[in-house]
C-alpha cells in the first residue's frame, strides 16, 4: 500500500510513527458530520471521533474502492478480449450456416468454405504480427 494518496489536486502523505489505535467494538462505518460544530460522530455508537482518525478512514476506504475499480477494469478488459474471439467465430459460423453465402478472406476476397480446412494450419502470432507489419511498412 502506498503512503501517498492523490485525489485530483489533493495529495495526502501518511506517516505512521505511532502504534495503531486499539480496535473498538464499533467499527464506526456510519459517520455523522456536524457542520456547525465541526464534529464527527459515529451514527451507530454516538462516539465523537478524532478528525485525523476519520481522515485515515476515508483514505483507507478510498484505496479499497480504487482497488475494486481497477480489478473490475482488468476483468472487463479480459472479458472484452475473450469476446472478440467469440464474436469472430460466431460471425464465421453464422455465414457458414447460410445456404447462399460464405465468408470471404479479408486479404484476397476469395470465399472460405467449411471444407477448406479453416483452422487446420496455424502460424505463430509473433511471426504473423511481423509479417503484417512488414506489409504495412512496404518492406
Question: Which cell numbers hold the place of 85?
Answer: 474471439
Q: What is the pLDDT of residues 101-110, one digit of tens each?
A: 878 887 788 8
Question: Looking at residue 103, what DSSP letter applies?
Answer: -
Residues in the chain: 139
* Confidence (pTM): 0.47
pLDDT single digits (tens) 75-87 = 998 888 777 778 8
**How far, in Å, CA of 27 to CA of 40, rounded?**
14
Pairwise CA distance, residues 54 & 10, whole Å: 16
How many Cα atoms are found within 13 Å in the side-chain-facing hemisphere of 45? Answer: 9
Amino acid at each position: 500500500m502506498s503512503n501517498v494518496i492523490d485525489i485530483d489536486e489533493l495529495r495526502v502523505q501518511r506517516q505512521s510513527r505511532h502504534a495503531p489505535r486499539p480496535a473498538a467494538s464499533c467499527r464506526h462505518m456510519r459517520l455523522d458530520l456536524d457542520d456547525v460544530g465541526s464534529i464527527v460522530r459515529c451514527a451507530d455508537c454516538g462516539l465523537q471521533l478524532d478528525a485525523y482518525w476519520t481522515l485515515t478512514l476515508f483514505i483507507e476506504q478510498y484505496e479499497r474502492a480504487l482497488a475494486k475499480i481497477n480489478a473490475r477494469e482488468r476483468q472487463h478488459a479480459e472479458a472484452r478480449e475473450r469476446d472478440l474471439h467469440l464474436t469472430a467465430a460466431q460471425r464465421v459460423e453464422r455465414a457458414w450456416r447460410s445456404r447462399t453465402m460464405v465468408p470471404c478472406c479479408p486479404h484476397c476476397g476469395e470465399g472460405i468454405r467449411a471444407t477448406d480446412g479453416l483452422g487446420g494450419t496455424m502460424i505463430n502470432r509473433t511471426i504473423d504480427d511481423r509479417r503484417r507489419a512488414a506489409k504495412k511498412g512496404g518492406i
